[in-house]
Structure 1
Amino acid sequence: MTFVTHLWLFLSHNINDLFITFLIFCTFYSCYSSTNNAITSSKSLKDNETITSNNTDLKLGFFSPLNSNNRYLGIWYINETNNIWIANRDQPLKDSNGIVTIHKDGNLVILNKPNGIIIWSTNISSSTNSTAKLDDAGNLILRDINSGATIWDSFTHPADSAVPSMKIASNKVTGKQIAFVARKSDNDPSSGHFTISVERLDVPEVFIWKDKKIYWRTGPWNGRVFLGTPRLSTEYLFGWRLGVDDDGTTFITYNFADKTMFGILSLTPHGTLKLIEYKNKKEHFRLEVDQNECDFYGKCGPFGNCDNSSVPNICSCFKGFEPKNLVEWSSRNWTNGCVRTAGMNLKCEMLKTGSNEFKQDGFLVNRNMKVPDFNERSAGNQDKCRTDCLVNCSCLAYAYDRYIGCVYWSGDLIGLQNFPHGGVDLFIRVPAELVKKEKGHKKGFLIISIAGGTGAFTLVVCAYLLWLRRSARHKGRQSRNLTTRECKQMKLDELPLYDFEKLETATNSFHFNNMLGKGGFGPVYKGVTEDGQEIAVKRLSKASGQGIEEFMNEVVVISKLQHRNLVRLLGCCVERGEKMLVYEFMPNKSLDAFLFDPIQKKKLDWRKRSNIVEGIARGIMYLHRDSRLKIIHRDLKASNILLDDEMIPKISDFGLARIVKGGEGDEANTKRVVGTYGYMPPEYAMGGLFSEKSDVYSFGVLLLEIVSGRRNNSFYQNEDSLSLVGFAWKLWLEENTISLIDREVWDASFESSMLRCMHIGLLCVQELPKERPSISTVVLMLISEITHLPPPGKVAFVHNQNSRSTESSQQSHRSNSNNNVTLSDVIGR
């Protein structure tokens, strides 16, 4: 029998089955193509269908917001709650009869199916044969079928959200913009009151408008950061860039190098920026850029300076200026701003001296400023900025940024703000006599100018150099005593100096009964001054391994810090060979006095512990990010956390702290490892490397102690001598983390919060510093701004092979040996 005969017999016997299979295939293919392929003039999209990108992460379809029956055409990531674009946000459908199709004129349109009324259209003018597809970036693109050219796309017609590779843009010549408009509310996607756009294209910055009035601005973009928004740090701006298209359009965009990442940056209904990042399709990070009174545009009016740390009187006038309306100013209506003080008018008579410099006017510098609005730009170094502004009588101020160059202002200075860190130095033009007067106040002091530095950093350099010089004159003396005169020479007279006799009286001659505790520095005594103020006096022990370096370090560091969660230094005493620091008194002593005491720990319920954790984290974030100095504490532990009468935590003991420069992740090296074993990360304990992530590790240990109510070095001869960190990791691998929670505070209603804190603690003590979160991310995790926590990687911990207490920082001074520290792994069962 031939092959043809066999084939004929097979087909004749199976023709019915083949026909049915063919019908099923055609039906399936038709359905698939209608929901997952292009929209064309012959293939529409109905309300119950979706179009999916090739990577299947993004979908186009109809949806309804929460508590609403209105139907909108939108694009979303993963699920409908993550909308990145809405077509008919201001023309909702009232039912499910909507259909998306290509109109005969080539426009993509939404029709109300029963009557054929066009609800929304791409509104292109030229007639063409077109098709619409959703690409993997989330862009809905309408293309000419014949040429393949893009004739419309959703990225250039955004709603309230931007995703990677989207642009916010503006063209100076045509006036065209790609701007984003916020929703009216979370459940109403119609156009709201706030709009975001890129402005001031010579030195671009992002503006938020409220009902067409300027509401907020970022300050200029210098290619790395927005100079007026230090809280939106480079940690969140990684992958952002500024560019100019061929047609002269200036744009700002962002992207991720990691292809597993995706982000949604949105303008919220209340006018703030919110960023949600996803990794492997799971929420990885969430940030909302908070706003304070000083962020609102023109809060203090022209020539007014806003400083949010000066609440409630946040507005002030610069030197040489005074309130325009004193009555309104005193009632905290600052919008009229400031004017030049009478008699302080500018001269600028253009009379040159032999030095080619104009003596009639000069400049006073204001540090860490958000620069004013309405700037002009030119190339040049800082000296050229000053010269160019000085010879131009209309120039009222200038600033310099190494990435931007010179920036000038010739009109009213509006929108100024003073930051604890970040921003730039702003030089304001004033009469020469005012400059001379200000210089006279500083005469006689040694000034060391360090780029990017601060007054406190200058102070510690001056003090340390002076000490080295005088120490060389007194060889053979093992310790160094400071006199009051020397302190004044080193500018310590800026800090109140206490008389020895008064402190002796206040502490009842440093009586044993007044001793609050004793650490590596020496004993701490309670005292009461003549005016009834309670104080804590920290007295350097003669036998202490610490000396002038730590004393000076603590004075310099903490005297320049002001934060709710840092202990406040009131003054110092350096008489009679004594070195003493005077602090505000903390009636509840230190955290360890409560946390590790079987009776006292009952007073710390979970609410109090949770507040203490958040307070400590915010204090560390201030040290790392928000203070004028960047400070690594290096000795965070329960005994260095003091509690006030309201149980608010205050970080103390800055004798080992280090002032550092550079960005997060930058490491410093020391040959002298100081601190407390058990709280030290491995890279510091064994290699002398410390960074912000060193403090994060210590905080993680402290967090686990607060959750468990047990000391890190209290574990456990019957459990292979694991530290608390090791034991917590062992429980994590066994999925038995609830066993770590302190039984004294366990409450079913707070169980998830307790387990979350333990989870965060394990993230902080991961072995590799780069895997540990930054402290700002930790704060967001604690306040649940970041809802999804990644699983912790391998942690670093020590076996307690040495029964000797290593609680004292002083012991670490006597030996740098790390032989009693062993890194350990626990293998999951």
Structure 2
Amino acid sequence: MEINMVTLVCFLQFFSFVPIFSALDSITPNQPLHYNETLISKAGSFEAGFFSFDNSQRQYFGIWFNRISPRIFVWVANRDTPIENSSGVFRIAEKGNLFILDGKGAIIWSTNSSDTVQNPVVQLLDSANLVVKDRNNSNPDGDSVLWQSFDYPGDTFLPGMKLKSNLVTGEYRALTSWRSSEDPAPGGFSLHIDTHGLPQEIITKGKIITSRIGPWNGIHFVGVPWGKRQQFLNFSFVLTEQEVSYEYGLLNSSTVTRYFITPTGLVQRFFWSDQTQRWDLYAVGPADQCETYAICGANANCDVNTSPLCECLKGFTPKFQEKWSPDNWSDGCIRRINLGCDNGDGFMKYEGIKLPDTSSSWFNKSINLEECKKLCSRNCSCTAYANLDIRNGGSGCLLWFGDIVDMRIHATAGQDIYIRVAASELGDTSNSRHFNGKRLAVILVGSSISIIGIMVIGFIIRAWSKKLEKPGILKLIFGKDKKEKQDINLPAFDLSIIANATNQFSATNIIGEGGFGPVYKGVMDNGQEIAVKRLSQHSRQGPEEFKNEAMLIANLQHRNLVKLIGFSIKDDERLLIYEYMPNRSLDCFIFDQDRTKFLNWDQRFQIICGIARGLLYLHQDSRLRIIHRDLKTSNILLDKNMNPKISDFGLARIIGRDEAQTKTKKVVGTYGYMSPEYAMHGSFSVKSDVFSFGVVVLEIVGGRRNTEFSVPHDHNTNLLAFAWELWNKGRPLELLYASEGDSLTVDELLRCIQIGLLCVQERPEDRPDMSYVILMLNGERQLPKPREPPFHPHKFGSSGSCPPKSINEMSCTSLEAR
């Protein structure tokens, strides 16, 4: 009993010296906030206070999500004036101005408001809005608000915040990117509403437009897919004679979301999942090449699902026909025939269109579409018209003057537009791939075709594979029944032309070989260099893989996917003709002791980012949802500028948008890159490609093959095991390839190692999807901790699995009973 009493006394004495704190959501002039104190909003949604980044003494005052780890900052006060090597104080003065002071009392940041109140208080609201108001007024959103952080946005757009632009003065509020993931100073990119012509949302780098989200169409911005957003959010767009403003709110108060602009100029929307305790990426932009502002130049249309990407509008032709290519699309198009105006012009209708740049437009809310057409017809300078508002069948009038710029196909968010053309152009469709926003099928000569003509053409197509007399654009039909048929529009080359280009398929022209067969370098008569994949008679891949690769790559168009130029089939010969990659494949660099020295870290990082963008396109942004199934360094080709391009789609598979995963009895791929669930059970999903990507990332960083890696005295390990061991021991930089004289960015290097380990985690659900990988590469402030990868041999398969190594990294196949 005596011991218990002594213990109790000591216990009480100890706690008599422990200060008792209660969470505050506001402070007054007599109650400053010090560097080790925070404000927490009334419902606990947000927290505000001083913070610093790892390995830095610089202090910032900001606001972040409370109870969510890692911290996500939504606003920073002194973003370009951090406190250096001292302790900060945040306080409100007697008249209502806010100040941040350093340890010596010097003013680091202030609000400098000319208005004052008698009894000021600063309060953190549950919206993350930091407000200064009169403490005697209980309404935080009333007229008593002297100052609020929502009027000075950083990189994040939150519910209840307004993006405003003044139509009279031209002033606007903008989201401004951070300089980097650990530097909140204003970066190079900005998002705001431009007020020239019809107001539209744009992204700029400095004063240059990099991407355009577009004008408001009554429901949403024309460049934003509507999708399921209405289930979570409601949007408001108000346009008056003096001002335009845009905001959004939550339909369910428990929803947690953020929309922000990254240091690299992407805009991303995330929702927080309580179930998985992570942020889920909901939307990202620019999503594809067509979102690059004016990528096709003037008077052209962009369609990410066609090849080439850009096409002149009806009635227009390339300004420089001989230069019309991906490198010169920005020259745009000019009219083939000048407008007659008084002699009568017509309008070509395009459907499913992201409306072009509206900075040189005129609009009227009250007139209808027919009146709009008459207005445009009477004005010789008017080049196009459309509805201003798409609700209830459409209303209002929007007119364009001068060139049509930055127009694209946008099936999920587009609308109708009518482009002015000369009357003589209305009956001619020869120079247009698109009508009503859709790709045209193969055009058959003649305005009408009889039944006999159709039968003849069908016979020609069936006989095509046996004899091909000269190149042209044909519709290829594979399969025996309608369910198996796939259409491919590709240039067909005569076999003799390709044979001549490759010196009769000389062995000296072989530049590579894989599961499909040898790959030859060729030079066409016009000097164009090509790469020719020739299906070997002894190849493990046959007609099915040939069909698969041709069908898939012909329907894909992305800067980080290799471009298929055409094909050739005659008797048993099957050829695929690709653009030539002068630097060959990635493995030729990173695994070669001499050539690896020519690939510095900046190039390696850009290659990693390019591969990630290509995979994201396959998994999410293309018309098809594609799993590559054989991603490896030898299937990553490098162009003359060392840009990566994913190749070899013979083993790729299409899955439904709603399919999480699928199974196969035929496990194909390359040992060392296959995910464990695929190698052992034949289950594959987009997360299978993520695993392969993780292996490739670690190989790029380490400069060594996963399947041929060993450490002295430990012959059972591989690169994944070695990377994991170094990570756990706090020595991840020892994984790095030899880098003498290389200027390294340590933060990027460590980030890539961690991303690689996150991608090769054993459970598919633990691996990030590629959209989240892109986010992490672009500078997510803190990354999740990876779990142990499945590097032990028994985890890769059983007796029926692939052998420990496959010769020349040839893909191996194993059959499993189901």
- Is the TM value for this pair above 0.5? yes
What residue is the counterpart of 1:355 in the other structure? none
How do residues 451-462 of structure 1 correspond to structure 2 at under 5 angstroms? none
In the alignment, structure 1 residue 417 sits paired with structure 2 residue 416 = no
What residue is the counterpart of 1:159 in the other structure? 152
Separation of aligned partners in 2, 1:299 and 1:709: 36
Separation of aligned partners in 1, 2:295 and 2:590: 45
What residue is the counterpart of 2:125 in the other structure? 135
What residue is the counterpart of 1:581 in the other structure? 576
Partners of 2:317 and 2:335 within 8 A in 1: yes
Partners of 2:698 and 2:753 within 8 A in 1: yes
Match of 1:84 among 70, 75, 98: 75
Q: Is the partner of 2:630 in helix, strand or coil? A: coil
Separation of aligned partners in 1, 2:207 and 2:159: 27
In the alignment, structure 1 residue 397 sits paired with structure 2 residue 397 = no
Aligned partner letter, 1:342: N
Match of 2:92 among 72, 80, 100: 100
1:697–1:456 Cα change, 3 Å: farther
Q: Is the partner of 1:762 in helix, strand or coil? A: helix
How do residues 517-536 of structure 1 correspond to structure 2 at under 5 angstroms? 517-529=512-524, 534-536=529-531
Partners of 2:586 and 2:637 within 8 A in 1: yes
In the alignment, structure 1 residue 500 sits paired with structure 2 residue 495 = yes
Q: Is the partner of 1:579 in helix, strand or coil? A: strand
Query: CA-to-partner distance for each residue in 1:577-636, whole Å, 9 max, x for gaps?
Result: 422122344455433345456776666665654454344334434545666766543321
1:481–1:568 Cα change, 3 Å: same
Match of 2:786 among 772, 776, 792: 792
Partners of 1:171 and 1:177 within 8 A in 2: yes
Match of 1:676 among 669, 672, 693: 669
What residue is the counterpart of 2:536 in the other structure? 541
Separation of aligned partners in 1, 2:393 and 2:662: 33
Separation of aligned partners in 2, 1:470 and 1:719: 67
How do residues 194-343 of structure 1 correspond to structure 2 at under 5 angstroms? 196-197=192-193, 206=201, 218-220=213-215, 226-228=221-223, 241-243=234-236, 251-253=246-248, 265=260, 304-305=299-300, 318-320=313-315, 341-343=337-339
Q: Is the partner of 2:637 in helix, strand or coil? A: strand
Separation of aligned partners in 2, 1:585 and 1:652: 12
Match of 2:693 among 683, 686, 699: 699
Separation of aligned partners in 2, 1:209 and 1:567: 29
In the alignment, structure 1 residue 567 sits paired with structure 2 residue 559 = no
CA apart distance, 1:767: 4.1
What residue is the counterpart of 2:5 in the other structure? none
Separation of aligned partners in 2, 1:559 and 1:507: 22
Aligned partner letter, 1:218: I
Aligned partner letter, 2:39: T
TM-score by length of structure 2 reads 0.64
Partners of 1:588 and 1:645 within 8 A in 2: yes
Separation of aligned partners in 2, 1:517 and 1:73: 56
Separation of aligned partners in 2, 1:531 and 1:525: 18
Separation of aligned partners in 2, 1:787 and 1:250: 30
How do residues 521-670 of structure 1 correspond to structure 2 at under 5 angstroms? 521-529=516-524, 534-544=529-539, 546-559=541-554, 565-596=560-591, 609-624=604-619, 631-644=626-639, 648-658=643-653, 662=657, 667=660, 669=662
Query: CA-to-partner distance for each residue in 1:361-411, whole Å, 9 max, x for gaps?
Result: 4424377644443687999xxxxx998977887694337999996475234
What residue is the counterpart of 1:439 in the other structure? 429
1:370–1:691 Cα change, 3 Å: farther
TM-score by length of structure 1 reads 0.63
Of all paired residues, the percent bearing the same amino acid is: 30
CA apart distance, 1:676: 0.3
CA apart distance, 1:214: 10
Separation of aligned partners in 2, 1:211 and 1:626: 28
What residue is the counterpart of 2:447 in the other structure? none
How do residues 162-201 of structure 1 correspond to structure 2 at under 5 angstroms? 162=156, 164-168=158-162, 179-180=173-174, 196-197=192-193
Partners of 1:72 and 1:89 within 8 A in 2: no
Separation of aligned partners in 2, 1:318 and 1:621: 29
What residue is the counterpart of 1:365 in the other structure? 350
What residue is the counterpart of 2:324 in the other structure? none
Partners of 1:284 and 1:789 within 8 A in 2: no
Separation of aligned partners in 2, 1:688 and 1:132: 59
What residue is the counterpart of 2:418 in the other structure? 428
Separation of aligned partners in 1, 2:224 and 2:31: 46
Q: Is the partner of 2:418 in helix, strand or coil? A: strand
CA apart distance, 1:417: 1.0
Partners of 2:385 and 2:400 within 8 A in 1: no
Partners of 2:690 and 2:759 within 8 A in 1: yes
Higher-Rg structure is 1
1:660–1:99 Cα change, 3 Å: closer
Unmatched segments (≥5 aa) in structure 1:
1-17, 91-95, 325-331, 349-359, 380-384, 460-464, 820-829
1:237–1:815 Cα change, 3 Å: farther
1:691–1:234 Cα change, 3 Å: farther
Aligned partner letter, 2:348: F
CA apart distance, 1:700: 1.4
Partners of 1:363 and 1:428 within 8 A in 2: yes
Partners of 2:523 and 2:530 within 8 A in 1: yes
In the alignment, structure 1 residue 53 sits paired with structure 2 residue 40 = yes
Q: Is the partner of 2:573 in helix, strand or coil? A: coil
Which structure shows the bigger proportion of residues in helix conformation? 1
Separation of aligned partners in 1, 2:177 and 2:603: 38
Aligned partner letter, 1:490: K
In the alignment, structure 1 residue 490 sits paired with structure 2 residue 475 = yes
How do residues 778-817 of structure 1 correspond to structure 2 at under 5 angstroms? 778-782=773-777, 785-793=779-787, 795=789, 798-799=796-797, 802=801, 804=803, 816-817=815-816
1:581–1:253 Cα change, 3 Å: same
Q: Is the partner of 1:439 in helix, strand or coil? A: coil
Q: Is the partner of 2:498 in helix, strand or coil? A: helix
- C-alpha RMSD over aligned residues: 7.0
Tell which deviates more after alignment, 499-508 or 606-615: 606-615
CA apart distance, 1:543: 4.2
Partners of 1:520 and 1:808 within 8 A in 2: no
Separation of aligned partners in 1, 2:265 and 2:633: 40
1:700–1:273 Cα change, 3 Å: closer
Aligned partner letter, 1:409: L
CA apart distance, 1:554: 3.0
Partners of 1:170 and 1:199 within 8 A in 2: no
Q: Is the partner of 1:541 in helix, strand or coil? A: coil
Aligned length: 725
Query: CA-to-partner distance for each residue in 1:461-491, whole Å, 9 max, x for gaps?
Result: xxxx99xx989989xxxx9646457974418
CA apart distance, 1:167: 1.7
Query: CA-to-partner distance for each residue in 1:782-815, whole Å, 9 max, x for gaps?
Result: 4x53353221245456147556355799966x75
Partners of 1:180 and 1:196 within 8 A in 2: yes
Separation of aligned partners in 1, 2:579 and 2:268: 39
Aligned partner letter, 1:676: G
Separation of aligned partners in 2, 1:238 and 1:457: 40
Separation of aligned partners in 1, 2:684 and 2:439: 21
Partners of 1:763 and 1:773 within 8 A in 2: yes
1:377–1:209 Cα change, 3 Å: farther
